[in-house]
Amino acid sequence: MHPAPRVHAWMTMLVLAVICVCMAPLHAEDGYELWLRYHLLATQQAAIYRSHATQLIESASTPTQTVTRAELLRGLGGLLGQAPPSSDAVTSNGAIIVGTPGSSPVIAGLHLDTKSLGHEGYIIRTVEVNGHAATAIVAHDDIGALYGTFHFLRLLQTEQSIDHLDVTQIPHVKLRVLNHWDNLNGQVERGYAGASIWDWWKLPDWRAPRYTDYARANASIGINGTVLNNVNAGAQILTPTYLQKVAALADVFRPYGIRVYLSVRFSAPIEIGHLKTADPLDPQVQRWWRDKADEIYKLIPDFGGFLVKANSEGQPGPQDYHRTHADGANMLADALAPHGGVVMWRAFVYSANGEDRAKQAYDEFKPLDGHFRDNVLIQVKNGPIDFQPREPFSPLFGAMPKTPLMMEFEITKEYLGFATHLVYLGPLFQEVLSSDTMVHGKGSTVAKVIDGSLDHHTLTGMAGVANIGTDRNWSGSDFNQANWYVFGRLAWDPTLSSRTIAEQWVRMTFTNNPAFVKPVVDMMMGSREAAVDYMTPLGLHHIMGPNHHYGPAPWDASEARADWRPVYYNRADHQGIGFDRTRTGSDAVDQYAPAVADEFNDITKTPETLLLWFHHVPWDYRMHSGQTLWYELVAHYTQGVDDVKRMRETWSHMNGYIDPERYQQVATFLAIQQKEAQWWRDACIAYFQSQSGLPLPPGFAPPQHSLKYYQSLTFDFVPGYSSW
């Protein structure tokens, strides 16, 4: 047989394959690079920056120095099209000098005050060395230089001038931590971005490159800790097999300044230690935890500590043995103290005891102020109930001056539309942080509680429940990445503006083109209020579908426990709507400092955004607008849907400014958001109208379906919920 035809066919296929490869976009955008997309800058901008990047003077002898150098080469190489050569001495204008006085004689020669920067701070300054202008990125410790490097790259990514730099940054908060609610079986509780990124099965041997990218992303925004597993914890994570896996992850994260922490199950001494009790005052139990801590620190010398959910939603805890939360936390704290570890003990506790759920965490923890060991932080959710689209700040902030309180935000959008709704959480985080507790007079903001300045604490922290999973884009949607990003930036500095952070994120993630940046940042900034409007306006809360938390169900009374039923929270009836938490109601208001309590107690002084949180209000109550409450409620719901329509409209004009892949997914997700916003509006209006008995105010469209229809909807599979 003659081989020629076959060779010919093979050649043809090869040529076709080459053509296909050449025609395919070199780099399809899938969101994997997050905000660390070091794509080539516009020609003119790149040329300017190249003159500031002629030499690289650094040292790469420690692991952190090595990753710092790698990031610089990657960043400069990508943004400028070429990375500068390394050298030992400054010989021309435009050198970039990175490191610490200890690692670089050139930096030592600058005589900058690095000691006052602490472990993580840095300076970025334009300096003169040997008569040449240079940019110095200087810190006291290696990790500060890495943080400074990311900051410097951000200046380039966002096209800022780097001619005369003089930046000093020191983090305001010590522990800046992600909380993963990841189960060991790969499911993520309240996760909407695929499965857990921790591949426990293949660890410790296979250390997926994604773990390094995770560490890079976190370090770039100053996150320095990660709790790997769900607060609804199994004891298994503390077994030797899993600790080896945890140690492998700790090894990957260490150069990036990230410590690992674990959520621990309070009853672990029984389940894996085979003791008869987990009583925190039992000497055998105390010994077990001490031994466990010793075992962990042998494997992971810089292990961060434990996060604990105890006596909450069915989890075991010290109260099972008639002990207090302080007894439980202190026992673990004593085990960790010799190694420098901390306990982050959650204040998210409530039970079906008939008391207003919003009051219970305060009632439980306030009396324990001053009873915790020095290495215990109490981790408090931002609001008194549970990460609702809008809540007042938790009354615990400011109420426990002798105890470090950590903020817990939820980055994953359990109550804000899961993966698909575009809701930028920066304004929510900022609203909470800037709330004034008034405990020491005006200006006693929640941010000052968290950064320790209000009551002089040096152990401080902020936690964010992660929205990260195995989806290529990490967070389930491109815009959800902004919520991870803004959390990290605000944990570093809670006084930053969420708008500035959004703008930087947009520039780094998409483009610097002002025709894109301005409208998209505006859209992000309005998105949280839009969601509040179409879900829970005017202080409504907890009216989502029970358990899975997807979609509206203000009518639901099916839960066994009253405090899990939406009707418990909205209390809509023929007279009015809202939860009376005033002094004649549950008196939750008096958990706040007197000035705040008086405001929340008085219906005329309560901000309308929180009206129905604190008051049961007649339908015909006159609002500031002069309209009735019923009118305003319908108007807000309608406004929310209209806002989403406008967001879609804004986005439709963005076509062509960015890659088609991400453009299209955002467009499709916005269409889903509009559909679901309409559903929220219509279902809630239909139900509240069934209670108020009032006609729809003129000019507003009636719900698209009957109340019966909305009540009949069921959902068999809802992401993030199956682990329950």
Contacting residues toward ligand GCV, per CB under 6 A: 181, 189-190, 231-232, 309, 313, 348, 386, 414
Take residue 158 and report the two structure tokens written for it: 């966002």
Q: Is the dihedral of CA 635, 636, 639, 644 positive or negative?
A: negative
Which string of b and e fits 625-643 if b means at least 16 CB within 10 Å? eeebbbbbbbbbbbbbbbb
Question: Do 178 and 169 form a contact (C-beta atoms < 8 A)?
Answer: no
Q: How far apart are the C-alpha atoms of 471 and 30, rounded to whole Å?
A: 10
Question: Do 601 and 589 form a contact (C-beta atoms < 8 A)?
Answer: yes
C-alpha angle 414-420-421 in degrees, rounded to nearest 5: 75
Pairing of strands 55-57, 95-99: parallel
| Cβ proximity to ligand GCV, 279 vs 556, nearer residue | 556
Q: How far is the CB of 222 from ligand GCV (least distance, A)?
A: 24
Cβ within 8 Å of residue 345, ≥6 positions away: 308, 310, 325, 328, 329, 372, 376, 377, 378, 379
Q: 462: helix, coil or strand?
A: strand
| Cβ proximity to ligand GCV, 327 vs 410, nearer residue | 410
Q: How far is the CB of 724 from ligand GCV (least distance, A)?
A: 7
| Cβ proximity to ligand GCV, 34 vs 423, nearer residue | 423
Q: How far is the CB of 718 from ligand GCV (least distance, A)?
A: 12
Q: Which of 88, 128, 163, 313 is catalytic?
A: 313
Classify residue 148 as exposed, middle or buried by CB count within 10 Å of its CB (0-12, 13-18, 19+): buried
Q: How far apart are the C-alpha atoms of 618 and 577, rounded to whole Å?
A: 7
Q: How far is the CB of 450 from ligand GCV (least distance, A)?
A: 18
Whose structure tokens read 């389930």?
476
| Cβ proximity to ligand GCV, 75 vs 316, nearer residue | 316
Residue 114's CB is within 10 A of a number of other CB atoms, namely 22
| Cβ proximity to ligand GCV, 188 vs 326, nearer residue | 188
Instruction: Please choose, from the candidates 326, 328, 306, 305, the residue with its C-alpha nearest in 3D space to the C-alpha of residue 317.
Output: 328
| Cβ proximity to ligand GCV, 189 vs 563, nearer residue | 189
Q: How far is the CB of 133 from ligand GCV (least distance, A)?
A: 51
Q: How far apart are the C-alpha atoms of 278 and 580, rounded to whole Å?
A: 39
Q: How far is the CB of 377 from ligand GCV (least distance, A)?
A: 16
| Cβ proximity to ligand GCV, 360 vs 504, nearer residue | 360
Cβ within 8 Å of residue 87, ≥6 positions away: 55, 56, 57, 95
| Cβ proximity to ligand GCV, 87 vs 232, nearer residue | 232
Helices 63-80 and 43-50 cross at an angle (nearest 10°) of: 140
How far CA 245 is from CA of 199, 253, 301, 435, 551, in Å, comes to: 9, 13, 15, 41, 37
Classify residue 123 as exposed, middle or buried by CB count within 10 Å of its CB (0-12, 13-18, 19+): buried
Q: How far apart are the C-alpha atoms of 347 and 400, rounded to whole Å?
A: 12
Q: How far is the CB of 309 from ligand GCV (least distance, A)?
A: 5
Q: Which of 414, 451, 590, 676 is catalytic?
A: 414
Q: How far apart are the C-alpha atoms of 662 and 481, rounded to whole Å?
A: 13
Instruction: Please choose, from the candidates 600, 573, 529, the residue with its C-alpha nearest in 3D space to the C-alpha of residue 384.
Output: 600
Q: How far apart are the C-alpha atoms of 534 and 520, rounded to whole Å?
A: 20
Instruction: Please choose, from the candidates 253, 190, 250, the residue with its C-alpha nearest in 3D space to the C-alpha of residue 218.
Output: 253
Q: What phi and psi values does residue 263 have, to the nearest 5 degrees?
A: -80, 135
Q: Which of 58, 356, 386, 503 is catalytic?
A: 386
Q: 465: helix, coil or strand?
A: strand
Q: 96: helix, coil or strand?
A: strand
| Cβ proximity to ligand GCV, 348 vs 669, nearer residue | 348
Q: What are the respective helix, strand and coil percentages of the chain, to the nearest 5? A: 40, 10, 45
How far CA 539 is from CA of 381, 416, 606, 607, in Å, comes to: 17, 15, 10, 9
Q: 709: helix, coil or strand?
A: helix
Tell me whether residue 436 is one of the annotated catalytic residues: no
Q: How far apart are the C-alpha atoms of 463 and 450, rounded to whole Å?
A: 11
| Cβ proximity to ligand GCV, 564 vs 600, nearer residue | 564
Tell me whether residue 414 is one of the annotated catalytic residues: yes
| Cβ proximity to ligand GCV, 575 vs 722, nearer residue | 722
Which string of b and e fits 47-83 if b means at least 16 CB within 10 Å? ebbbebbbbbbbbbeeebbebbbebbeebbebbbeeb
| Cβ proximity to ligand GCV, 172 vs 180, nearer residue | 180
Q: How far apart are the C-alpha atoms of 555 and 543, rounded to whole Å?
A: 8
Tell me whether residue 159 is one of the annotated catalytic residues: no
| Cβ proximity to ligand GCV, 414 vs 451, nearer residue | 414
* Residues annotated as part of the active site: 313, 386, 414
